Amino acid sequence: METITSDLAFDGAQVADDLFRLLRLRTTPIVMKLFEAESDLNAVAKLRRPTAIHTTDQIVGQAARNGWTVGITAADLVGDQCGSVIGLHPQSEEWLSGKKMAGVWYGTIEDAAAHQAAMDVVPFGRYEAMAVSPMASGRLNPPDICLIYATPAQMILFINGLQWLGYKKLSFSCVGESACADSWGRALATGEPSLSLPCFAERRYGGVMDDEMLMAIPPSYLPGVVRGLEALSRNGLRYPIPSYSVNNDARAGMGVSY
């Protein structure tokens, strides 16, 4: 699967413009970056710091829905679940027990513990802070990952673009609740493109729309995605996908597309 080399600058403004043009995204593409020291946040231009306690979903939503650049530490987050996914809170025995979720999200303490163990998270101990910002702003350059919200139709074309060169079968995960572990948790921990079905909390607190999916992806992949989308578009495979009708003779359309 094609990526750009790490020594090339990431042009977030151009990539965001290309994604809007090729996929007609409704939601601002954003980026996320972890910081080893909280003091490093001071160098980020136009940074906002929360004055209230939030979920990570809300912080991500402030960038994607409001266009803000926001920096946080574990002290800004409502609980250990949010901080643990991004490596700002230890994955302690209490956290791994899942007892806070037993009887609420999972029927037994064993089920809740199995859920916690299944989550992809950033190991604790290296980072003190995290920031998010619109991709086009260039304020977190280079970012660790990019977050792209899209409808299922937009997302499958995004993945088609990702697979245009260096084809690789993609496998994603679904832990259910705490689906941020499937998106930004997994992408930060593994460096791999990570698609998720945003969970209840992301939709309730983060403003994620009913029909949106989330792709978390290292920035090195995105120039290749754009090139793939451009190639698909030249072949007539573009968004919005026109309906062919369920009643027409399929041979004419299949001859063009396949």
User: How do residues 40-66 score in pLDDT, each as one tens digit?
Assistant: 999 999 999 999 999 999 999 999 999
Residue-level pLDDT at 79: 86
Domain membership of residue 7 (yes or no) is no
- Of 157, 177, 176, 173, nearest to 231 by C-alpha is 157
Residue-level pLDDT at 258: 78
Domain membership of residue 94 (yes or no) is yes
How many structural domains are present in the chain?
1
Residue-level pLDDT at 254: 85
Q: Which residues constitute the domain of residue 164?
A: 12-241
129, containing H or E segment: strand 129-134
Domain membership of residue 104 (yes or no) is yes
- Of 226, 44, 43, nearest to 148 by C-alpha is 226
What is the distance between the alpha carbons of residues 111 and 108, in angstroms, rounded to a whole number? 5
Domain membership of residue 110 (yes or no) is yes
Total residue count of the chain as it appears in this document? 258
Burial zone of 147 (CB within 10 Å; 0-12 exposed, 13-18 middle, 19+ buried): buried
Residue 93 contacts by C-beta under 8 Å, 6 or more apart in sequence?
Answer: none
Give every residue of the chain whose pLDDT is below 70, as ranges. 2-8
Residue-level pLDDT at 252: 82
Residue-level pLDDT at 8: 53
Domain membership of residue 50 (yes or no) is yes
Beta bridge partners of 54: 77
- Would you state the torsion angle of the CA atoms of residues 222, 171, 197, 14, taken in this order, to the nearest 10 degrees? 0
Domain membership of residue 200 (yes or no) is yes
Domain membership of residue 4 (yes or no) is no
Domain membership of residue 116 (yes or no) is yes
What is the distance between the alpha carbons of residues 22 and 139, in angstroms, rounded to a whole number? 24
The predicted model scores a pTM of: 0.95
Residue-level pLDDT at 23: 98
Residue-level pLDDT at 2: 65
